[in-house]
Structure 1
Amino acid sequence: MNFPNDVDGDVLRRLDDSGFDFSKTWEIDFNVDFNSWPPSQEALNILEKEYGAIEIFEPEEESDGYVLFNITSIVSYELIVDTQRKASSLVSTFGGVCESWGVLH
């Protein structure tokens, strides 16, 4: 498979190299980071309205806090990039950005 030469493309290439089945539906986790903690309730409400259930992970000693949401879909570069772009756009005025994702296989 061919993926763009960027961070998301690199992750997809590693998945492909490991035998990941891109024809199956997977639960994809997206993380939303905020430049100040805790995020506003309004930002959380916007994410929940758009993506359904969210999970809030409080900051710990070695990690900042973040908000997680899932999408169940076939994994594709377009879905990953579009979802990150949309989520970031929804919460950018609250200091939020979605730049990381993952899938367990």
Structure 2
Amino acid sequence: MQFPDDDNGKMLAAMADAGIDLTKQLDVDFFLVFDDQRDAEYAAEELAKSEIEGEMELHLNDDLGQWELIVCIPMVPEYQAVVDQEVQLNTFAKEFGGVTDGWGVMQHQDGDDEFADDEHECSNECKH
């Protein structure tokens, strides 16, 4: 697969190289950061009311010293779809004094055998 030579294209190329099937729907996490807790909370409330379908998580990122709103959107990670979603979320975040700060996927999802742990045996203590 060929991808544009930008951050999004490089991320998709790395995912493809890792064996992730980019033709299947994945949970894509988009990161929005805010300096102010109130702005982040208000943005989360407004985003929950919007047409964007997905799960959200808000927490203080100690490494950044900023509030991070993670928006998990199930989607096929096609280049233009990712770019369009990132632009939409960045426009939204700016209304509340925030910006987008990239995106990514969890290391193991359906269709992604790269990180399978064949030696793991589930027990009563498993939390997955």
Calculate the TM-score normalised by the size of structure 2: 0.71
Give the match's secondary structure for 2:95.
helix
CA distance in 2, matches of 1:98, 1:4: 20
Contiguous gaps of at least 5 residues in structure 2: 109-128
Q: Which residue of 2 aligns with 1:47?
A: 47
Q: 1:98 to 1:39 in 2, by over 3 A?
A: farther
Q: Which residue of 2 aligns with 1:31?
A: 31
CA distance in 2, matches of 1:39, 1:3: 38
Q: Which residue of 2 aligns with 1:17?
A: 17
Contiguous gaps of at least 5 residues in structure 1: none
* 4+ aligned runs moved over 3 Å, structure 1: none
Larger radius of gyration: 2
CA deviation after TM superposition for structure 1 residue 69, in Å: 1.0
Q: Deviations over 1:55-101 (max 9, x none)?
A: 111132x2333001111111111121111100111121221112311
Q: 1:95 aligns with which of 94, 97, 100?
A: 97
Calculate the TM-score normalised by the size of structure 1: 0.85
CA distance in 2, matches of 1:37, 1:5: 33
Q: Percent identity?
A: 29
- Report the residue type matching 1:86 in the other structure: Q
Aligned alpha-carbon RMSD (Å): 1.7
Q: Deviations over 1:10-66 (max 9, x none)?
A: 1111111111101211111111012x2214243222222233532111132x23330
Q: 2:79 aligns with which of 77, 80, 84?
A: 77
Q: Which has the higher helix share?
A: 1
